[in-house]
Structures are given as C-alpha cells and as structure tokens.
A and B are shown apart, each in its own frame.
Chain A
Amino acid sequence: MATIASSSSTVLLSASSSNLLPFSHPSTSRLSFSSSLSSSSSSLSISPTFLSHNSSNSRHFVNHSAFTINASAAKKKKVLIVNTNSGGHAIIGFYFAKELLGAGHSVTILTVGEEGSDKMKKPPFNRFSEIVSAGGRTVWGNPSEVGSVVGGEVFDVVLDNNGKDLETVRPVIEWAKSAGVKQFLFISSAGIYNPTDEPPHVEGDAVKADAGHVGVEKYIEETFGSWAVFRPQYIIGSGNNKDCEEWFFDRIVRDRPVPIPGSGLQLSNLAHARDLSSMLTLAVENPEAANHNIFNIVSDRAVTLDGIAKLCAQAAGRPVNIVHYDPKAVGVDAKKAFPFRTYHFYAEPRAAKSKLGWQSTTNLPEDLKERFEEYVKIGRDKKSIQFELDDKILEALKVPVSV
C-alpha cells in the first residue's frame, strides 16, 4: 500500500469532467482515496490493487472520477459484508472485501452457514485466505443472528449481499439500526425490472411489485437514514461461484455447436466483478452522494447472446458454430438448457455515472481472454462433460455433432 505524506491535514481532490479519459485498459481502475485525520500526521493511501503502475510518488492521478472527494467523507470505514454462500452474487463480497481492504478500510465478511461446509470448498470461499491476509476478518453464521456472530463488533457500513426477501434481510436491517450502523447497502437484482419495449432498464423504471427484492428495497428506504441499493445482472471474474462464460467455453473448446434459444439477438449484460466492487467502494466513500439511490450495478455495454458466443470464441482463438432453436418446439426448458435469460435483459449504470462519477472498466474481449486462460489453466478444457440437453436440441434440429 503506497502512502504519500502530506503537509496539510486535509486533502481535497478534484477532477474535471472534461478531462475524463476514454476507457481502454481493463486493468486500470479507479483509485480509491482515503485520508485519516489522526492527530499526529495525515497520510494519503492509494490502493494499488488494480493499478497497472506504481504511482506512489506521482501527484498526477489517473482518475476516472468526475467529482470532488472531501477528506471527511473519505475516512476509513468499518464495513460488514453479509455474504451469500452460493450463486452468482457470491463473488461480489469477495472482490468488495479485497478492494475495501486495499483502500485501508476494515472489513468483516459474514458468510451464511458453516465454515466447514462443502460449499466453502468452491470459489470464492476457497480463497478467503486472501481476505484474511489482507487484514480482513472472516466469520460464519446465520444472518438472523448477525449481532452475536460478529460478537458485538461495531460497524459504520453494512452490505447485505445475501437476502432475496424481507424475511431474510429484516433481521440484518433491524440489528444494523440498533447497533448504530450509519449506512446500509443492499445487493438487489436487475431481474426485478418489468419487461419493457424501451430498453434499457433505468433506475426509477417500474419493477415487479411482488418481487422479494422489492420488498427489501422498500423496507430499507423506510427504515434507514443513509442507504443505497444495487441491482446487478451477470458477473464474470476469477473466483466466481456460478458458471457464466464457462458454459460457452465448454462447447467451443470441444468443437461442439453452441445452441442459443431464440434469435440470438437478445441483449444481456456481463460485468467484471471489479466493476461491482469499485461502485460499492465509491458508495462507501461517498455516502452523501450515494444516499437514497438505486444503482444498476452493471457494465455500460450490452452484448447479444450471439455476441457472447462470438466473443468467447475469439477469446479462445477458435471458431464457433451457433445454432438457434425454439425451446418450445424442441421440448426443452430454456432455463435448464441455457445460462441466461432468453429475452432482452439489459440495464444501464446511469445513476452510478452521474451521481458517483463511476466508470465501467469491463472490456469483454480482454476480460474473456483472461477468463479463458484460467479455464485452461485449471484443466477444465480437458474435463469430461455430458451435454444431454444440447444433444436433445441438436437431435431435434438434426444438427451433426463432430466426435
């Protein structure tokens, strides 16, 4: 962690919006700033976690943000992450914890369930030592007993990255309130948006009234002084608990056709986990700007289902054979046969850009290359996989499969 000794005790940083750099390099991320106003000295900590170069001596920052950071808002926070023990959102807590720790904040991550469970043998949980060695604390337990699980530790911020309904999140909210937590953050879902003729889903658009996440969002708004909710889509990145791009790699690397339901033109959104952690970190460090806001926590480009297949093939350096089919006509359940929603599902991160000065760094062509390298490194390309549903689809369409 690089530090700069500053002669003044407050640090004010600003970046003019007209100097925003076009996004390009995927490994350049926003710098997180924090300054501690201790009585003896003040220091500026810069997180090198995702930097591509060491800027410890540089006063010229690559800053994608377009707002002024006040020293008072950038002080170190104590953050509790209540994290799910499985599924596509599990990765969020892992990246968020590491980014916060790199920025000098203190982190406890409470994972649902037991430390010894089989679920903990999968990523990202099998890499939690990285959180510990970065100075974070990992605990396990039931969120409904969060108070006793964290053992009376005091927090400034709580992120619930677990509950999908009020029954599950309410105990966490209630405890946070009574324990004097200042800011409550919640990972909701972009799946709650009503379908629309006019994409993209934008913060403020109508949502499904009966969705579990909606109940939670409403309750947080009614209950907490300072809050923000985040609606994600699909996430990629090392440490993912749920397959995403792997579904495509599995087929491409074995020279199998890639069956895509419908026209393949349906839009989706894949974001690298570092985009999610950077937005959440900005919210923690700028609570006034984040307060009372819904944020679509997604990358800023849509990709078609066909496009995902093509980009995965490019990343793998192999050809791709896309086959479209009608799930009903073939007699398969698209939810089982295909990993993404089969209708347009595209939200844009407009609130984060305008209110937090956040920028997306997801670069699918580059990021998928990295993902494919890891896919091969862990030997998944050699793994024996059954493609029962694929075979059923291809049989119905009379598409030959090379052996």
Chain B
Amino acid sequence: MTILNRKVFRELGRMRGQVIAITLVMACGIMLYVSSRHTYISLLKSQESYYASYRFADVFAGIKRAPASTAEEIAGIPGISRVRTRIVMDVNLDVPGLDEPATGRLVSMPERRRPVLNDVAIQEGRYPAVGRPEEVIISEAFAKANGLAPDDWIGAVINGRQKALRVVGIGLSPEYVYEVQGTGSIFPDNLRFGVIWMARDALGAAFDMEGGFNDLSVALSSEAREMDVIDRMDLILEPYGSTGAYGRDSQISHRFLMDEIIGLSVSSNFTPAVFLGIAALLLHIVFSRMVRAQRDQIAIMKAFGYNNLSIGWHYLKFAFLAISGGTLLGIVGGFLLGRPLTALYQDYYRFPDLVYELNYDVIALAAIISVSAAFLGTLHALRSAMSLPPAEAMRPDSPAHFRPLAMERLGVHQLLTPVWRMIFRNMERKPVKTLLSAFGIAMAVAILVMGRFTFDSIEYLIDYQFRTVQRDDAAVVFAGPRPARARFELSHLPGVVRSEPYRAVPVRLRSGHRMKQTSINGLDPAGELRQLIDRDGQTQSLPPEGVVLTRTLADLLAVREGDMVAVEVLEGSRMQGRLPVSLLVDELIGISAYMDNRALNRFLGEGSTISGAYLSVDPLRADALYATLKETPAVAGVAVREAVIKGFEDSIAESTSATTFTLTVFACIIACGMVYNGARIALEERNREMASLRVLGFTEREISVVLLGEQAIVTLMAIPIGFLIGWGLCYLAVDATAQELYRMPLVITGKTYAFAFLVVGAAAVVSAYVVHRQLRHLDMIGVLKIQE
C-alpha cells in the first residue's frame, strides 16, 4: 500500500465517529431509494404481467340490458380485438357470522373454463362444475376478511329470492386488484363487499337475462384510438340504457393502482433525494474541516512534488471510502427492505404473484447517485485543497478574526457571560457553517413532521368527510329508482331515527372539451345528514336551483360559480340539458355533484323518485335494523359509516405506521449525525480554547457548555426552520398526490410538531452526551505546547 493510502486508512480510523455518521445517513438515503424503487418496479411489473396473463380489458360499459346480437355489432367496431359480455349484479348477501348486510357483486363466468377478458385467477379450490348453478368463486379479500373457505355456504338475495351459494374457489381478477364497490365507497371494506363469480346460465336465469347481458368489456388492438371506440360504443349501446363506456383511466381499481404507482414513483425519487442531500451536506462539513486542518500537510506534499491532481484524488478517495460502506449497506438493506414494503401493498392491492427481483439498473443508479453525492459534498474541500499554494499553506491558517458584530451593535453581549459571548461570536463568525448545520438538523425535523403528517391528515380527512360532511349512520341504496313514498317504508323500520331520501343519477358533465363522469346527488333541502361545506368551513344551504359541484370537480371541468355545465344523463330518459353551477363546496373524497332533489326531479322530467336514503340509526337497535335490511330485496346495498371508517383506517394504518417508523428512525440518524459531527468538529477546531479554559480552572462541565452550547442553539434554531420545511414538504406531498378519488388535507397538528421536537431534541442530547464524554480525553498540555 502506498504511504498516501495508508494515511487515508489511518485517518479514516481516527475519524470513525464521523465516518459512521456519514455511513448511516448515506445508508438511509440509498436504502430508501433502492427499496422504494424496487417496490415501484415490482408493482409495475406485477401489474403488467397480471393484466397480460388474465387479459384485463381496455374499455368497459355498463348497460341496463342488451341482446346478444349487440355484441357482434360492437365487435365490428374498428380497433376492437375482443369482446366479452357479462351479467353483473350487486346483491345483498347473508354471510355467516356477519351482522350487517354485505354486498356481493355477482359476475358471470362461462360455463366451461376458457380464456376470457377479465379472467379469474384461481388461488384456491376450483372452477365451478358444469350444471352446478350454486357453485361460485369468491374474491380472496372477501374470503379472508370473513374467514370463508371452499365448501362454505353463503346466502344471497337474487332477484328477490333467497339463494344458497356454495364456495368452491377463491379467486382474484385484474378488474379488482383494488376491490371496492364503486363511486360511493372508494375505500376497501372487504368484510362487506366481495366479488362472486358464478356460471352465466345460473345468473342469466336468475335475472331473466338469458341471451342478454348488462356489462361489456372489450380489448383494443394496438392501433385503436380509445376515444373513437368509446364514441362508437356509446352510439350502439345508447338504446340499451348504457351508463357510458369508459377506459381504464376511469376503471376504479386500475385508477387507484395507477395513482399509487405514480405516487410511489414520485416519492421514490423525492424522499431519498432529501437524504442524499443531507449526506452531501455532512460530507461537505466534515471534509472542509479536514482540509483546513491539514493545510500544512497539503503544503508539504505539494512541496515534495505531488501535483494538484494527486492531492485532489487523495482527498476524493477519503470521500469515496467514507460513503462506500453506507452505499453498500443501503443497497443490500434496501433490497431486503423492499420485499416487506411491497408485501404491505399486497394487503389492499391484490396480485396472484408479486414479481420482486433484483434490478441492476436501480443498483447501478444508486451507486452513481451516492458517488455524485460524495463528489458534490467534497467539491468545496477539494477545490480549496487543490488551489492552496504550497508557500501559503506552510503558514498557519489565517488567525481567527473576530470583529464586533451584530451582537455588539445590538448591545446584547452585555447581558451574556464571556462563555456565552464565545459561543455566539463563533456562530456569528461562521454564519454559513452555522446555517448549514442548522439546515441539516432542520431536515431531520422536517422528515419527522412529514412522517407523522399522514396520520394527522387521515384523521382529519375521516373526521371531516365522515363526521362533518356525511352525518348519516348508514346509506341505503335501492336496486333502482323508487317512488318517493319508499322513504316512509324505511323510516318506519325499527331503529331508524331519521331518514332522508336522495336521488342519485349517473351523468356526464361537460364544459367545453372537458368531460367528467360522475353522478348528481339530489338531496332533501330540509335534510341534515349531508352537509355542504365551503372553503371556509361554513355550512351552506342547498340552493333551490342549479347544481352544486365539489371544488375538485369544478377544477377538472374548469368552471366556476355561475358558469353553465352540459349534463348528459346516463340512465332512463338519457336526456341532455344544461345547468348553472350554483355553489362550490369542499370535500376531500370523490368528485360529487349535488342538487335540490325537487330541482333534479324537474330536470329529469320525472315525478318524485328516490334512489335510496341516508339514515340516522339508534345504536342500540342498529344490529336488528341491518339484519332487516339484509333481508329486504329492494335494498341493493347498505353503507354503514363506522364500518367504512374502520375499513379505511385498518387499510391505511399499517402502511402508514411502517413508513412513519422508518422515517422516524432515519430522521433520528440524521439528527444524531448532524449534532455529533457539529460537536466533534467544534471540539477539534477549538480544543485549544477548551484546553486554555481547563488550565484556567474551568471544570469539564463548564467547558462542555462552551462546546455544546453552540450545538444546542443550532438545534433550537433548526427546529422552527424544520417545522417550516416540514410544512413545505407536506404541501408538496399533498400536491403531488392530489387525486380525483381523495385528497390529503394539509393538516399538521401540534402533536406532530411536539413529536418532531422531542425526537430531534432527544437525538441531540444523546449525541451531545457522547461528545461530552470525549472531553475527558482532552490533552491540556499537549495542545498548549503547539503553535496556534
């Protein structure tokens, strides 16, 4: 080994505390990058292969009822390569062991197994036997939530008749990677909603649809234009009560999965970038200090004929060695961490198999990123080492120059003891260094805020959406529009305290070339169970005319209050018309539209018709009520609020705790790394001062105030800055993940700030203590013997 290399290793050993700090921060950044990138690629690949193997369709349409011949017409549309017609029906289920009613989505399957679009991947059991109408496959999530296995029986109300279904298989489908019922409830409630695949003949007979179908999915050839195909399909399907064809973009499972994958792609670059920035910052601080301390050595090497390049390379080697451990740790750890991280997604995005494999591009990129971070972090130090003229360097570093600064001008120094004046002047003299250290710690604070923000946001979202906006205990959906008097039948049921009818109509809203498919909810103007809340949190009364849009929907359509929107009704009369936007409201979930139900009935040209009702329920009699509703054929579904909230919380809580925990650990590492390094460098740079003070009779405790006081102030300074940066990061995160389906509100509670404060404070105290202990080894005599 050359002497210079030996020097590198020896000095790295001497700086091991700092090297460990750099290693850990680097490892965190690389680990986050490698794991989230692997997760991202894994989900993307799993989705791709799943869609391909089970032939996920490209365009979908729901119809009231169409004859089989229509399918041939559709198949004739240029660009369509395959067509599949199905019967799809939501029915009430009676699941053993479940009190509330559950909803089953019956989906028809060919009598004999053959490859079809939106095929079922059987995970367990078998395909229903021919001539066995009672045999069904149920979705895995539903089976797991309810503890159902092959050979179990469930009851279903099919076309008004109670039927017993025998589970023979457990399956998955690319259509239901994310298994939710539809626009009304967008969070999985696997206990109360499940997909049931059953033989077409049995289903057709039960719903009097032999030969016909009410659901269509098609695959497109590669050159097809989706918009054109949708237009042609709508034209053909219109007479049969189509609710409008739509592409994968509006298919709810695909949409959720894509949002998740895109979000992951953003965050897999964003968060690691923050960590690597901090690692670079740390390297910058450590190496600038090192080159400053080694001025004389650099001068001597230069005097002996080493050129600038070899000096630069010498110090660069330090940096590369310092980061190599962290990079390696990060790559290995990241790959290992990615697997359980990916598995977490599997709880609500279900794939038959997850493709998780080592991705060499990611590894290579990780290495490039960490080398770049090292290079960036040491750039300043390298430049000053290389530009140092040998003669200049032989002289000691220009003496620390102190002038009266802001503190003196303000006169505050008179309030301080000499020790505190030392502390403040040192900070004032090197404002850039002080700010950089504060910035590093602030980033740790910010990461903690960001990590816990998700909890706050979701808590607020649930509270706002399910307690302020939606105040009903349960929402009943009828199998189809009913006359208004149906509400009285509901309100007389035992346990119903209050019932408010609503009329929901599927529509397409257009403004200019912008179009959005949703439904208009006609509300009872005297109702209390649905609140319209504006941007300022004020409750608004329902305008008697015009349509109320949620702000997200209005933004998508680019309309404001007073503008007109074109409305195309997708059921019954299929009429078209225009409505003024009378009010904008703020909701965090979905893209809803509301109207006064009388105005809606008028607009539709129908009498008083309702689609369901919002119920206020006596909690003591709730179970009995849900049991009754379960048996009621006219009721297609019941959404119980507490169940919806619980399902949501359960599904989100696990993944959120995992991320928050990881981020907390990483933030602690950063905080410790920054404080430890700051104190270590202060100790090295100022050991002469420390020694002088010890000689003058200051105790160890007293001089550690001088040393650590600065770190304490920097940490305290960093905390509010960190709060601000954290807020900013949350703002960006909210912005990046704003989706049609739901939006995270930018709410950060005091608890989160307190948490960040305490964690960083504790990390700072621990690192300070470690350095404080090193003060014991301060060599008073040795230091003072040496020329300054």
A interacts with B: no
Q: Measuring CB to CB, which residues of chain B are less than 8 angstroms from any residue of chain A?
A: none
